[in-house]
Structure 1
């Protein structure tokens, strides 16, 4: 069984949380759960196996934070931690057709210009994880819990350039339909589908009862299989228990089926019992195929413009015949260039043509 064949099933079931499962077993907050791949691999394998026995078709490796930024002071290399994580997952899948997804999350740093990490540096950080996961035998790559579209692009390109494995990606949205950095659902869909990923969706942050309007919008902008991997609500500040039971979680997932979801699992606070409940609901449900008519469009991370009518394009970001602009480019005066962009935007431009040839 490979990922392409798995998509022939009515639904694909993912696993649930790893971090909160480990916390329930006594792992202290602030520690790196990925290090357990090396120090207590049997605990990781046992959690994976519990999810497989609950009906998961794909399990995520315990490697979401296994990048050089987060492992810097751990005493272990990315290759060591990622390889051990894949091995722990593959041991759990022995004798089954369950697939192992190399789990890659955010670097934890902001990309330029909001932060100091360059796009190329981010891409190489992700590439290091990808190479280690491929060597260890992962079946596919999942990029998850991302909030910055630039970082998501860097991760996808690293995955595509360093492997031939299927790549799926989920970003984390608020109720506002934007990520923490302001990325829109339409921008995510247009950009990542354009980069050739194999499935797309939403994970973490919200519960399954809060996803309907987000899934509806995503279904209008993508032809890819849609993933949902929500949280089990919010944790109680006193007990730490999450607010949505496995049965209620699965009930809400059932209500998302008519919106076109295909790949389903759980994020923070979910357990093997959650996956069992999801599997039960989906077994009595038929999938709904959504066939959107996606308009030609261009986007930034925070804005999407459909080419469905005459659009105004600002063309003044061009040094040809503009001495002041050329001088600003040569002295790297970004403020001057941004001012030109703002003037055109305020004058009504829908799209900016950037030409620095």
Structure 2
């Protein structure tokens, strides 16, 4: 089956676990000539292609927390601990900052958390603040502090909505014709946690000057005097694409409905790890074919797409808050089986431009007697200046 076929099969058959799916649709592995197999006969146990595909499908269909029961065993390295693994084996922490809008108090919280845990901080391209260098056993403590102050997971680790970038729009800018920040915040809070075949990025610009670079996003929104123009199928990456104009002068209500349908149609029919740009090209009729499905309901599925998105919005919960409230899920965040709170002694850092970075091989080999020797990670890491 293609991913789209399997998605529909799982949805129609109302299956909710990998075991159910593999039992219903799996096939026994082809025997290797001359080899003796100790595996029992049956539909197999899944592979490195079907397991993450099924994990994505189940998450997109809203089958509960990704670390709940059997679903936890399907997740990749990042989703397994809900953080992005870095080159030295530590993780980055990225709280959601909807539309890039954050209060001074919020900035102070992030700054204090980063300082207390000795993390490297950087403003990301998606208008968020990334904190690097968190050890696996520190992740719950870091997120507990962030959640207590109103932050939630930014899903930087998942194939899901990442960010909705915005300019300041008509709120402050003398050129702005619509409230781009307000729209960006509404979109990000609407689609947060939406799992998909690949990551999704949006952008909202308050005028045609396009400071949010919306036409480089999977869905781009640009304000007009009459409403909003919507663009689809843009991305950076190995093969950059400019988004194409999809609809003009939409009201805010029309814009939300159109984006709802576009994203849900993409989630249901795209191939695994396929961005929206190649997906639009693969749909029969290209962008015009997508437009007919979404704007003219040519397949008669718009009501179903609307209902699916409404279900997602209603069922959303912050993944990290749910982990902090579950002692069983918290058990996976340990550095060593027999010493879960012990820092990895192989982690070493050097100070650079007032912050830490991982020590390279030469710096580690230089040893503690050298000038500017690496700092070995402890409970917290104070930067030497």
Q: Taking structure 2 as the reference length, what is the TM-score of the superposition?
A: 0.24
Greater Cα radius of gyration, structure 1 or 2: 2
TM-score in terms of structure 1 length: 0.26
